[in-house]
């Protein structure tokens, strides 16, 4: 067995020190060690996007990043981002539009949509679709998700303008 590695990082604002096997993915670390099970494990090869988390402020695939690579980094998961209220309006919009059914893709979809909203406040439906194309939803057909994101973009624009 290869030797484990000591890591220190910040998860949802809390400092964490752990010893992990090198091969442990970030999402498995968050779920199994930190009990943060809002990040989901789907395909484990970077296709479905269900494992999306934030690493130093940007969304990444939790299955394509090693826990040891998060050493020294700031990690945010859906639990942390929900608690801060940063995406409360987005979560409300998902509920209002029924933009989820089984909910498996939802935490990752929210984090992805939040990055779009932060970086491209003027995105149109086509850009929304392109941006979330890395996140599979097998229930909704995406229409309601795009509606919800579009709604939040519009209401934040309105809020910014007043």
Residues contributing to the site for other proteins (CB under 8 A): 1-3, 5, 21-23, 25, 28, 44-46, 49, 52, 55, 58-61, 63-66, 68-69, 112, 115-116, 129-131, 133-135
Q: Which residue(s) pair with 161 in the sheet?
A: none
When the beta carbons of 94 and 131 are compared against other proteins, the nearer one is 131
Shortest distance, position 67 Cβ to other proteins, whole Å: 10
**In angstroms, rounded to a whole number, what is the distance separating the alpha carbons of residues 31 and 37?**
5
Percent of the chain as helix, strand, coil, to the nearest 5:
45, 15, 40
Residue identified by tokens 């981002």 is 81
Shortest distance, position 147 Cβ to other proteins, whole Å: 19
Shortest distance, position 61 Cβ to other proteins, whole Å: 5
Taking Cα atoms as reference points, which of 31, 18, 16, 14 lies closest to residue 5?
Answer: 18
Residue identified by tokens 């229409």 is 143
When the beta carbons of 23 and 96 are compared against other proteins, the nearer one is 23
Shortest distance, position 162 Cβ to other proteins, whole Å: 29
């Amino acid at each position: 067995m290869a030797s484990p590695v000591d890591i220190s990082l910040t998860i949802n604002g809390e400092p964490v020190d752990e010893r992990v096997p090198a091969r442990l993915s970030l999402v498995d670390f968050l779920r199994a060690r930190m009990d943060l099970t809002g990040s989901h494990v789907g395909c484990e090869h970077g296709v479905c996007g269900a494992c999306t988390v934030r690493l130093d402020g940007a969304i990444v695939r939790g299955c394509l990043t090693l826990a040891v690579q998060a050493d020294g980094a700031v990690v945010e998961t859906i639990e942390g981002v929900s608690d801060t209220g940063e995406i409360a309006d987005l979560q409300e919009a998902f509920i209002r539009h029924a933009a989820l059914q089984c909910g498996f893709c939802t935490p990752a979809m929210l984090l992805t949509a939040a990055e779009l909203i932060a970086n491209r406040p003027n995105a149109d439906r086509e850009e929304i679709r392109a941006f979330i194309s890395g996140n599979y939803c097998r229930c909704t057909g995406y229409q309601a998700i795009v509606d919800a994101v579009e709604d939040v973009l519009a209401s934040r624009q309105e809020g910014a303008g007043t």
